[in-house]
Amino acid sequence: MKYGYLVLLVLIIAASGCIGEKVQISNWPSGYDVAAVITFDVEQAQTTDIIRTVDLLEKYDAKATFFVVAGYYEGAEEILKPLHQFEVGNKGWDQSTWPADYEGQRKSIKRAHTMLTKQGFNPRGFRAPYLKSSPETLAALSDLKYSYSASETGLLPTVEEGVVKLPLSVSYDPFWNDDVKDYLPLFYMAFEKTLDAGGVFTFYTMPENVDSRWEAFLKHLQSRNVWVATGSEVSDWWKLRSQLSLKIVGDTAVVTNNGESSVSGATLTTKKGFIPLPKIAPGESARVKI
């Protein structure tokens, strides 16, 4: 299993460096070089695990998204109370019985959604149990009006069936195991390469695995020009960014908003750095010298 994670890291490192041109619409808002999404899978976590994780996130004023297997907390919903200040996503009703068909998946997602909503959460994102996402999953999420799915690997989000596919970078879990701790530098290397490529670094672990090594990486994130955001924030931004098109006319960049919503915070990436763009209304264009 540990070698599978290493292969994923190598793929991230090898693929990074292929994103970027002389002038392009920046991937992320407000001049950030890279986005990072901190996610947790809540499957067996107890109150002490969740409180320890929440306290650490608060210490660094860091956002995070928690994907809950809702059926595992039926009758023990109080364990989830500390998560009300964070984004909570849906991970189905029962991970051990995740079906392959559309109707079965839709039923699992909707049942979990109902339970989480009753607890005061507003799940907009989904992670498939065991990361077993399929076209049927995306169809079910689209039907249930979910914003994004965080179940597949990659460097940048894509949009399919109206759902943003927020890519996973790597699981943090194997690095808590003393048998593979020597590979921890590869995790940092994968993050730095994702930063160089302007991608999104979405990593995941479980609350019960959080310790001082995880805190060290959180501090490392904050030492870089990183947009630490929730899954919803990244997916919402990506949809807005996808509305924009770029045309170069002589020494002028013309950025047009082809969507139905105004876009604020967009920038251009050039050899000289970032160029901020004004708020662009639907159907309007912004022109800047490059």
Domains of the chain: 2-20+34-232 (3.20.20.370), 244-289 (no CATH)
At residue 186, the pLDDT reads: 76
pLDDT tens, residue order, the chain (290 aa): 444 444 455 444 445 444 445 899 999 999 999 999 999 999 999 999 999 999 999 999 999 999 999 999 999 999 999 999 999 999 999 999 999 999 999 999 999 999 999 999 999 999 999 999 999 999 999 999 999 999 988 899 999 999 999 999 876 665 555 555 556 677 788 889 899 999 999 988 899 988 888 888 889 988 999 999 999 999 999 999 999 999 999 999 999 999 999 999 999 999 888 999 999 999 999 999 98
Nearest to residue 269, comparing CAs of 17, 18, 33, 13?
33
Helix (H) or strand (E) holding 276: strand 273-276
**CB within 8 Å of 128: residues ≥ 6 apart:** 91, 92, 98, 137, 149, 151
Q: How far apart are CA 201 and CA 226, in angstroms?
A: 10
* Summary count for the chain: helices (H), strands (E): 7, 16
* Burial of 38 per CB tally in 10 Å (0-12, 13-18, 19+): buried
The count of C-alpha atoms lying within 13 angstroms of the C-alpha of 87, restricted to the half-sphere facing its C-beta, is 24
Amino acid letter for position 232:
S
How many Cβ atoms sit within 10 Å of the Cβ of residue 87?
22
What DSSP designation does 166 have?
Answer: -
Residues 6+ away with beta carbon under 8 Å from 287: 252, 253, 254, 255
> Which pTM was predicted?
0.89
The single-letter code of the amino acid at 235 is: S
Long-range Cβ pairs for the range 179-186 (8 Å, 24+): 179/2, 180/2, 180/5, 183/2, 183/5, 183/6, 184/213, 186/6, 186/9
Q: Rounded distance, CA 241 to CA 275, Å?
A: 15
Residues 19-63 pLDDT 10s: 445 899 999 999 999 999 999 999 999 999 999 999 999 999 999
